[in-house]
Each structure stands twice: as structure tokens, then as C-alpha cells.
């Protein structure tokens, strides 16, 4: 299953202040760990919202309204994301806990969200029941 670790923006990241070398190194090391464990799918940092736009629909059937950045509600903005593929929700949490404080000065916030995917066959009770029946059959065949 896939999870996205979303790093929230801060006033500094919005102003385009580059993180310290120390933090860059720590992040790089963390990403290497993800790669070596075979879980990293993608990771990117985003430019400040000043170079972004926002498209909104304010009424049903209405036209799109385009607003240029920057946007003010810093804590709700996204500064980057890391997409991982793991075995379980617990594993995703463990990886998220190992990410360094993403801005390095106690203002960091990471949001962990699961990606919607096609039905997980292994977790589906109907499929699991079928699987058990098949297993029984296979065992009987083995005995015969």
C-alpha cells in the first residue's frame, strides 16, 4: 500500500529560504534509507506558493476563478511530499516518524495520508475466504 508523507510549509519555506546544510544532509540520508529499504517511490520539494496559482469553482456550473499566489494560510500549504510503498499502515507510521524535522527548527509538520488503490485482494474478506477454501483443497490434494 502507498502512503504520502506531506510536509507542510512554513514562513521560511514560503519565502524561499533554503534549509541549512545540516538539514539537507539529514534529509538526504533519510531518503537514502528509504531507497535502501526499497520503499521510496518518489519525493519532491515544491516551490513557494508565490509561483503557483489557485483555480477555484465558487458556484455550481460556474466558470473557473484563477487566483495567483502567494497564498496566506501558510500552515495549510504544502512544501513537499514523499511517496512510499509499504506493507502496512504501521510501517508507514514508522517511516514517517523517522523523517527529520522537515524545517529543522521545531516548526515542522508532516501529514501522513494513504493513497486510494484498487481493492487490496489480500485484505478483502471475500477473497480471503476463497483463499482459505483453495488452501484446504490444495492440502486435500496433497494428502490424496
Partner 1 sequence: MTVIDVNRAIEEIWRMESAKLIASLTHLLRDVGIAEDIAHDALIIALEKWPNIGIPDNPGAWLMTVAKRRAIDLIRRTKKRDQKYTELARGTDLYTEEDVDLVVNEEIGDELLRLIFMTCHPVLSQDARVALTLRLLCGLTTDEIARSFLLSESTVAQRIVRAKRTLRSENVPFEVPAKEDRKERLSTVLEVIYLMFNEGYAATSGDHWVRPLLCQEALRLGRVLAEIAQSESEVHGLVALMEIQSSRLKTRVNAKGEPILLMDQNRAQWDRLLIRRGLAALERSERIGVPLGQYAIQAKISACHAEAHSVEETNWVKIAALYEALYRISPSPIVELNHAVAISMAFGPSLGLQLVDELSRESSLQEYHLLYSVRGDLLFKLGRFEDARIEFKRAASMTKNEKEKSLLMNRAKECES
**Count, residues near partner 1 per rule CB under 8 A:** 28
The torsion angles phi and psi of 16, rounded to 5 degrees, stand at: 80, 20
CB of 111 to partner 1, least distance (A): 19
Region near partner 1 per CB under 8 A, out of 5-13, 16-24, 55-63, 125-133: 125-133
CB of 139 to partner 1, least distance (A): 5
* Residue among 122 and 144 whose Cβ is closer to partner 1: 122
Q: Write out the H or E segment, with its range, that includes residue 98.
A: helix 89-98
Q: What letter does residue 47 receive in the DSSP assignment?
A: P
Task: Report the DSSP beta bridge partners of residue 43.
Answer: 82
Is there a contact between 3 and 82 (Cβ–Cβ < 8 Å)? no
CB of 3 to partner 1, least distance (A): 13
Is there a contact between 92 and 115 (Cβ–Cβ < 8 Å)? no
CA 122/CA 129 separation, integer angstroms: 10
* Residue among 53 and 134 whose Cβ is closer to partner 1: 134
Write out the binding residues for partner 1, residues 23-52 only, by CB under 8 A. 35-39, 41-42
- 65-70, long-range: CB < 8 A, 24+ apart: 70/14
* Residue among 59 and 90 whose Cβ is closer to partner 1: 90
Contacts with partner 1, residue ranges (CB under 8 A): 35-39, 41-42, 83, 85, 87-88, 90-91, 93-94, 117-118, 120-122, 127, 130-131, 134-135, 138-139, 142
Amino acid at each position: 500500500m502507498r502512503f504520502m508523507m506531506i510536509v507542510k510549509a512554513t514562513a521560511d519555506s514560503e519565502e524561499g529560504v533554503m534549509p541549512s546544510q545540516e538539514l539537507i544532509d539529514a534529509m538526504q540520508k533519510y531518503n537514502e534509507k528509504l531507497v535502501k529499504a526499497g520503499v521510496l517511490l518518489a519525493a519532491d520539494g515544491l516551490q513557494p506558493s508565490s509561483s503557483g496559482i489557485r483555480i477555484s469553482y465558487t458556484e455550481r456550473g460556474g466558470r473557473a476563478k484563477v487566483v495567483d499566489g502567494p497564498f496566506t494560510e501558510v500552515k495549510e500549504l504544502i512544501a513537499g511530499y514523499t511517496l512510499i510503498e509499504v506493507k502496512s499502515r504501521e510501517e508507514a507510521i514508522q517511516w514517517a516518524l523517522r523523517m527529520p524535522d522537515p524545517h529543522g527548527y521545531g516548526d515542522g509538520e508532516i501529514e501522513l495520508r494513504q493513497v486510494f488503490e484498487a481493492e487490496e485482494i489480500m485484505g478483502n474478506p471475500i477473497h480471503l475466504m476463497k483463499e482459505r477454501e483453495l488452501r484446504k483443497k490444495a492440502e486435500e490434494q496433497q494428502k490424496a
